[in-house]
Copies of this chain bind each other. A is one copy, B any other.
Amino acid sequence: MRFTAEQRLDDGVLERAFTLGEIPGILWTPGSVSAPAPLILLGHPGGLHTMYPRLAARARHCAAEGFAAATIELPGSGDRPRSAAAEAARADLRRALAAGEPVTGEIVDRLVLPLVDRAVPEWRAALDALLPLPEIGGPVGYSGGVIAIGVRLAAVEPRIAAAVLYAGTFVPRALFEDARRVTVPLLVLLQWDDETNDRQSALELFDALGSEEKTLHANMGGHTGVPWFEGDDANRFFVRHLR
């Protein structure tokens, strides 16, 4: 991992851009740190540059509770090389949504499974690189982004101690097997009328997750309408489980 730029934000948070091999990422650490900070991995749908304002706001929100936060670019997003197969699947998904047709499992599998298979080892590699930093301790939380990535990561990566999952994107049925293996405390967010997801599938996924402690927060509105107070709730969830 190589740091490529840094700036101090107005609330004292230190923001550092880094590259992990060819993968760009960002690390935010609280301004005043007395002990190594727990780390929250910030998931997102891909496209660090476009997502930057929202990611930075979430990171500052985390830092206000004494957490470090980090994110990396997804495979095939931002400046990373596109996958022709993923682009074709994404076009099919958009076509189905625009036509009001059901999104078939075949489209979801083609779009999401290769992404999960590539992304999860990269997030684990990011943990390998970030956790040795003296300003970062454990435990680690994962928050938001493509829920299939969060589910697989929580299932296979023992350093993830708690996760906030956003049920806002389609989940391949194969990932339900991963879901059953998840045991860490979970907070699952669902937008009740999410135009890019299926409510019943999201409820089935929540049911399938293996964790004894899991909470579903469902709010009215569409994909981008998650209410502001859920950010506070996520912070309190991580305070309960990472401190």
A-to-B contact residues, CB < 8 Å: 192, 203, 206-207, 211-220, 227, 229, 232-233, 236, 240
Contacts and interface: CB of A to CB of B under 8 A. Distances in A.
A164 to B, nearest CB: 14
A4 B51 CA distance: 61
B214 A220 contact: yes
A131 to B, nearest CB: 28
A217 B215 contact: yes
Contact of A216 (B211, B212, B218): B218
A215 B219 contact: yes
Contacts of A211: 220
B220 A192 contact: no
Contacts of A214: 219-220
B218 A218 contact: yes
Nearest to A215: B219
A233 B232 CA distance: 10
Contacts of A206: 218
Contacts of A217: 215-217
Contacts of A229: 236, 240
Given A211-B220, A232-B236, 18 more contacts: A192-B216, A206-B218, A212-B220, A213-B220, A213-B227, A214-B219, A214-B220, A215-B218, A215-B219, A215-B220, A215-B227, A216-B216, A216-B217, A216-B219, A218-B218, A229-B236, A229-B240, A233-B233
